Chains A and B, each alone.
Chain A
Amino acid sequence: MDVFVDAVRQAFGLLVSGDPYLWQIIGRSLQVSGLAVFFGLLAGIPLGTWLGLARFPGRGAAVALVNTGLALPPVVVGLFVYLLLSRQGPLGGLNWLYTPSAMIAAQFVLAAPYVAAITLAAVQSVPPELRLQARALGASRWQALMLHLREARLSLMAAVAAGFGAVISEVGAVIMVGGNVHGETRVITTAIVLETRRGRFATAMALGLILLVIAFAANAFITRVQQAQPRRRRPLTS
């Protein structure tokens, strides 16, 4: 038990003292996962909206595929991205392997389905009459769509939090494509693996605490959004 207590106590000391090694790693984690989620939004929101509103043959299969994306094992994504980016791979010319770009790419693949799936659910939860009424009142198709997304915006924010929470705590993909290089591709999760192996428990614990705080904040946000949902403004009634 002493080991544990000591590690927690020293961890706080390290965090408070502004240890540069720690904060550099935390910064890199936020940068990589933040950008991955940002690109995930760019791809996931249009995809989710389209799947939520369009009707076409094979839509059921496409929805199932997006939902499967929620359960993509990070190591499998890591393997695919690794092979794509390796020197003999089709994208080897980019020279991305073992750089933050490779990590962003891998986490993008993990984050985009989150955003798409939650957008899809959010868009479908808005009653379709809303758009029809808006159209009837003279809104353009685009204005009606924007109104629709506005109604779903809280859920979209939850999508950001869920995707971010998922990728920032992922280790399998980033260690494969990033390589855990000190000062370059070392992020919170890969550093925890390494520092635990080296027996530097205080450093590992400090990073673990930060990761917990981030995961807690993301989930607290999602819970708040979900609690707020029933009080959402009712659609226009005729």
Chain B
Amino acid sequence: MFEELMPAFQSAYPQYRVRVIAVGSGEALRLAARGDADVVLSHSPRAEVEFMSSGRGEYRRRVMFNDFVVVGPENHTARSCGGADVIVVMTCIAELGVLFISRGDDSGTHARERDLWQASDVLPGGDWYLEAGQRMGAVLMMASEKDAYTLSDRGTYLSLSDRLQLRVASEGDPRLRNQYSVIVVRDASNADGARAFADWVVSITAQEIIGGFGVERLGRRLFSPNAEAPGK
């Protein structure tokens, strides 16, 4: 997505230089807390609220959303779990003890996974629960190789799905909604640039780019823009 957003931002604001550091939300907020980033785009609401309430952010704006999906082995067996209610699916996975691979890296997706286990009254652990400590793409490949379930953002899953022997086991539950927000870091070393980017990414121009992303390549949009009252 940044490949499309950044050139547009740069041509609108040639005076600012942007360096994109693509990391998980948890790491992104930690980088920002240490002053190593000026503006953050993240999808870990609870960590973001914490970040804001500790006074480290200047302001935070809603940008877009997509959703998480639970994916699992392609072949249906007696030990398959699936359905619209994600809590039922998570409980089923835990009760049958079918392999589940966790990101295990404190990323936004990992944070959501832990929330889902908590909502399902499951304390994950044991032989069926592997903590991979890797990026989403690597975890999806691992799930495919090992006939396992995992929680993924839809974008990463779709971009790899033709190479994965996985299918969607649960989608559409409101608990799977994945909201992205932009945060301007307080006392950013390039505060003007940070504000310019944050304000631009919620503008109509940027929101249209976001809504169109992936449509050409995958035939469907990957993100739904939902900035409040886009201006400019």
- Given A179-B134, A181-B131, the answer on whether A197 and B145 have CB atoms closer than 8 Å is no
Q: B133's contact among A86, A87, A182, A199, by CB below 8 Å, is which?
A: A182
Residue A97 at the chain B interface, CB threshold 8 Å? yes
Residue A94 at the chain B interface, CB threshold 8 Å? no
Residue A234 at the chain B interface, CB threshold 8 Å? no
What B residues does A199 contact at CB under 8 A? 26-27, 30, 106
Give the distance in Å from the alpha carbon of A184 to the alpha carbon of B30 in the complex: 28
What A residues does B24 contact at CB under 8 A? 197
Interface residues of A in 51-87 (CB under 8 A from B): 86-87
Give the distance in Å from the alpha carbon of A98 to the alpha carbon of B143 in the complex: 11
Residue B79 at the chain A interface, CB threshold 8 Å? no
- Given A194-B105, A198-B105, the answer on whether A182 and B131 have CB atoms closer than 8 Å is yes
Residue A107 at the chain B interface, CB threshold 8 Å? no
* B145→A98 contact, CB < 8 A: yes
* B142→A98 contact, CB < 8 A: yes
* A180→B134 contact, CB < 8 A: yes
Give the residue name and chain of the B residue nearest to A180 (CB).
B133
* B138→A182 contact, CB < 8 A: no
Give the residue name and chain of the B residue nearest to A198 (CB).
B106
Give the distance in Å from the alpha carbon of A47 to the alpha carbon of B116 in the complex: 55
Residue B12 at the chain A interface, CB threshold 8 Å? no
Give the distance in Å from the alpha carbon of A175 to the alpha carbon of B23 in the complex: 17
What B residues does A183 contact at CB under 8 A? 131
* A181→B130 contact, CB < 8 A: yes
Residue B17 at the chain A interface, CB threshold 8 Å? no
**Mask for A185-219, Cβ within 8 A of B = 1, else 0?**
01000110010011100000000000000000000
What B residues does A1 contact at CB under 8 A? none
By CB atoms of chain A within 10 A, which of B131, B133, B146 has the most? Answer: B133
What A residues does B230 contact at CB under 8 A? none
Residue A5 at the chain B interface, CB threshold 8 Å? no
Chain A min CB distance to B69 (Å): 21
Chain B min CB distance to A186 (Å): 7
* A197→B104 contact, CB < 8 A: no
Residue B232 at the chain A interface, CB threshold 8 Å? no
What A residues does B145 contact at CB under 8 A? 86-87, 97-98
Chain A min CB distance to B72 (Å): 16
Give the distance in Å from the alpha carbon of A86 to the alpha carbon of B145 in the complex: 7
**Mask for B28-52, Cβ within 8 A of A = 1, else 0?**
0010001000000000000000000
* A182→B27 contact, CB < 8 A: no
Chain A min CB distance to B159 (Å): 19
What B residues does A184 contact at CB under 8 A? 130
Residue A136 at the chain B interface, CB threshold 8 Å? no
What B residues does A98 contact at CB under 8 A? 142, 145-146
Give the distance in Å from the alpha carbon of A3 to the alpha carbon of B30 in the complex: 13
Residue B132 at the chain A interface, CB threshold 8 Å? yes
- Given A87-B145, A98-B146, A199-B27, the answer on whether A194 and B133 have CB atoms closer than 8 Å is yes
* A3→B133 contact, CB < 8 A: no
**Mask for A20-37, Cβ within 8 A of B = 1, else 0?**
000000000000000000
Q: B134's contact among A3, A97, A175, A198, by CB below 8 Å, is which?
A: A175
Q: 10 nearest interchain CB pairs?
A: A182-B131, A194-B133, A199-B30, A180-B133, A198-B106, A181-B130, A197-B27, A179-B142, A180-B134, A87-B145
Of the A-B pairs whose beta carbons lie under 8 Å apart in the complex, a sample of 23, sorted by A's number, is: A3-B34, A86-B145, A98-B142, A98-B145, A98-B146, A175-B134, A179-B132, A179-B134, A180-B134, A181-B130, A181-B133, A182-B130, A183-B131, A184-B130, A191-B133, A194-B104, A194-B105, A194-B133, A197-B23, A197-B106, A198-B26, A198-B105, A199-B30
Using A98-B145, A98-B146 as known contacts, list a sample of 12 further A-B pairs with CB atoms less than 8 Å apart, ordered by residue number in A. Answer: A86-B145, A87-B165, A98-B142, A175-B134, A179-B132, A181-B131, A184-B130, A194-B104, A197-B23, A197-B106, A199-B26, A199-B30
